[in-house]
Amino acid sequence: MDLIADHISHRFGALEVLYDVSFTVRSGEVVAIVGPSGCGKSTLLSILGGLLQPSSGRAEWRGAPPPDSRNPLTFVFQDFALLPWCTVEQNVGFPLLHTGLSGNQRRAVVDDALRRTSLSDFRGAYPKQLSGGMRQRVGIARALAVRPAILLMDEPLSALDSQTRELLMEDFIGLLADGSMGAVYVTHNLEEAVRIADRIVVLSRRPGRIREVVAIPLSRSERGDIHAREKLLTLQSELWSLIREQAVEAEREVQHA
């Protein structure tokens, strides 16, 4: 299933946030969206996932989602968005409650999602008992439980410390390895972008428009390699040079606002 941004523009009142953004996420592809602060990355993701109506243009999808998908476009949130009154198990099963699955079927799906995220031992825990990394794992398990065609990941690692980020990044790469799931990965962290993305959409500062789309010429499995590291670093600094000047301006602007 492809996800298409078709000439999307958006404004909040007088504030123009996005301007004429168009791109396509192909089936199984991982697209990272980067750009200076306030360039409308998260807004764009909300529009793509149907949580926000764009001022003009539209988000559309083409092709067939996986036959057993219960929510083809599924978000993973920066703040995890776990229900604090539900256990890990209940949080993961939450989006299945209205799908008409029987209790047994639900349990099987939840068990599978917990296993894939190594959470089986924590099924009875409440979110407040878990570390940040574990909480985001619950968020991912919940997303996996509905068999998404495309994950919409909104800065999924930015609330975590760097060690946890590293571990979760490895998990993401593992989950996306078989190409059965695509992703739109919004981040301000270029290192994450070059590690996980097939293509990187670079947005300009506000109003965000596409400055460049950069393809990463390495498969994800190759990127762990020591030689690839260097290449990725070069790529990362090229991206940075694209953004840097505008990031400086964006930062000043934010401070003035």
Partner 1 sequence: MLNRAKAGRDSPPADITTEARPVAFRGAGFAPRAGRYSGWVALVLVIGLWQLVGSAGWVNPLFLPPPSAIGLAIWKLAMSGALWHHVSASVVRIGAGWILGTMAGVAVGFAIGLSSLARGVGITFISALFPIPKIALLPLLILWLGIGEEPKIATIALGVFFSTAISVYSGVDAVPRNLIRMAQSFGVPFASIVRRVIWPGALPSILAGFRITASVALLLVVSAEMIGAEFGIGAFVLQAGNLMQTDQLLAGVVMLSLFGLAVGRLINLLETRLLHWR
Question: Which residues in this chain contact partner 1 in the complex, by CB under 8 A?
Answer: 49-51, 71, 74-75, 77, 79, 81, 83-86, 94-95, 97-98, 126-128, 146
DSSP codes of every residue in 128-169: GGS-HHHHHHHHHHHHHHT--SEEEEESTTTTS-HHHHHHHH
**Smallest gap, in angstroms, from Cβ of residue 42 to partner 1?**
11
Cβ 45 vs Cβ 33: under 8 Å: yes
**Smallest gap, in angstroms, from Cβ of residue 159 to partner 1?**
12
Count Cβ atoms below 10 Å from residue 200 Cβ, excluding itself.
24
Q: Which residue in this structure is represented by tokens 């590690």?
A: 195
| Distance (Å) of CA 7 to CA 14, 210, 246 | 19, 11, 23
* Cβ-based nearer residue to partner 1, 102 or 241: 102
**Smallest gap, in angstroms, from Cβ of residue 49 to partner 1?**
6
Helix %, strand %, coil % of the chain (to 5): 40, 25, 35
* Cβ-based nearer residue to partner 1, 124 or 174: 124
* Cβ-based nearer residue to partner 1, 140 or 250: 140
* Cβ-based nearer residue to partner 1, 51 or 254: 51
**Smallest gap, in angstroms, from Cβ of residue 77 to partner 1?**
6
